[in-house]
């Protein structure tokens, strides 16, 4: 599921997906975060990505 991350929603819409016991952050711009065991940490990765780009 994608969620609005910044005011520039057309460019950076972030979300998370799970594969096994790992959670990944991803963005509509093509960015993917590292595998995390913590969903909260994956969400934080996505938030940091959206704020720094």
Q: What is the DSSP string of 33-49?
A: PPPBS-HHHHHHHHHHH
Can you tell me the distance from the alpha carbon of 48 to that of 53, in angstroms, rounded to the nearest whole number?
A: 9
Q: Per-residue pLDDT for 2 more than 50? A: no
Mean of per-residue pLDDT scores for the chain: 86
Q: Return the pLDDT at 23.
A: 98
> What is the pLDDT confidence band of residue 53, given thresholds at 50, 70 and 90?
confident
Q: Return the pLDDT at 10.
A: 60
3-state DSSP assignment of residue 14:
strand
């Amino acid at each position: 599921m994608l969620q609005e991350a910044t005011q520039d929603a057309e460019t950076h819409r972030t979300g998370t997906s799970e594969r096994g016991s790992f959670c990944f952050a991803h963005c509509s711009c093509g960015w993917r975060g590292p595998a995390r065991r913590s969903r909260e940490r994956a969400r934080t990765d996505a938030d940091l990505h959206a704020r720094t780009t």
